[in-house]
Amino acid sequence: MTLVPWVPHPEVWTLLFGTLALGWYTARVLEPKAVQVGYEPITRAQRVWFALGFASLWLASDWPMHDIAEDYLYAVHMVQHLLLSMLVPAAFVLATPRWLFELLIPPDSRVWRWFRTASRPLVAGLVFNALTMGLHWTSVVQWSADSAALHFAFHLAVFVSGLLRWMPVIGPIKEWRLGPPAQCIYLFSMSIVPTVPGGWLVFAESVVYPHYDTAYRLWGIDALSDQQAAGAIMKLFGGFVLWIIIAIIFGKWAAAEGRREREVQRALDLERLREAEERRRIEAETPDEDGELTFEDVSRAFAATTAPPEPRR
């Protein structure tokens, strides 16, 4: 047997169908009305991000990943959590136009103010990192495995904390975003905490989670190797991927700053050139008062004067 038996998950299908229906309703019904009042239409990139978010959510929530992650391999469980905390929230945030966000959460409402506070970098960072640390305690993992409702609540908390984490970087409300240098610092700070439980899992000498230390080993992977793989996945994807994003943000910011400086320097050079040409024109039209009197100067002076009238007799 290479895979776990197929098990239907109607609650997952309901969630996915609701997500797909919301996307269709937004594009077919809400978007035309939003465009009529002056908002921008949904872009092709936003449609692609929605499709990626939907596909990633389906992959992380349905068979076989959900079943393998829940009862057999903690490494697959780690991949599932990374999808739910990083890729899926980021994709849905990038897929959300501003007008839809303001429609779902009216500005100046109590929920808007709550969401604004919760998505501030310090608050979002603390919430996400606290969940990252707490959900890897041995007892918490066991509670999640024993209770389907608690398991769903943990996944929902991970997803919501992921949404809050990405708001200061790629959120639809541009005023809430950090500047590029601050984004790099923020994401770097977010990459540190996941390495702690990741390193703990990699270097542990015994199995940390009894729930995954079962007699049946899927694909012949022993429990300790599975645990070490989970730690490596968390360290690499929980931290290294963020460093790649930091490098991309910094590179784009540095390139934009370089272009801006070149444009400013070009404008200054053009202004200096115009000033120099204006000075040369004025100097060419103004006689040199300190120089010697020439025949041309006298001729111009005579030409500029008129003869006095003859006296009457």
Tens-digit pLDDT profile for residues 105-146:
999 899 999 999 999 999 999 999 999 889 988 999 999 988
Measured distance CA(285)–CA(55) in Å, rounded: 75
pLDDT tens profile 91-105: 999 999 999 999 999
* pLDDT of 106: 93
User: Tell me, what's the pLDDT at 275?
Assistant: 87
Distance of CA 268 to CAs 58, 240, 262, 272, 280, Å? 55, 42, 10, 6, 18
DSSP string, 104-125: HS-TTSHHHHHHHHHTSHHHHH
Q: Which among 127, 33, 141, 139 has a CA at the least distance from the CA of 89? A: 127
Average pLDDT value over all residues in the chain? 89
Are the beta carbons of 74 and 212 closer than 8 angstroms? yes
* pLDDT tens, position by position, 68-77: 999 899 999 9
> Could you read off the pLDDT of 3-45 as tens digits, one per residue?
788 989 999 999 999 999 999 999 999 999 888 777 889 999 9
> CA 192 to CA 188: how far, in whole Å?
7
Categorize the per-residue pLDDT at 1 as very low, low, confident or very high, splitting at 50, 70 and 90.
very low
SS3 (DSSP) at 260: helix
pLDDT at 150 over 80: yes
pLDDT at 29: 93
**pLDDT score of 216 more than 70:** yes
Evaluate whether 250 touches 179 at the Cβ level (below 8 Å).
no
CA distance 195 to 239: 7
Angstrom CA distances, 218 to 71, 78, 224, stand at: 10, 16, 13
Contact 220, 73 (CB under 8 A): no
CA distance 213 to 239: 27
- Residue 212: the pLDDT is 92
Please state the rounded mean pLDDT for residues 261-285.
Answer: 86
pLDDT at 35: 81
The residue whose two tokens read 């092709």 is 44
Cα-to-chain-centroid distance, residue 111 = 22
Contact at 8 Å (CB) between 175 and 209? no
3 state SS of 137: coil
Q: Is 182 helix (H, G, I), strand (E, B) or coil?
A: helix
Separation of alpha carbons 26 and 32, rounded Å: 9
Q: Give me the numbers of helices (H) and strands (E) for the chain, helices first please.
A: 16, 0
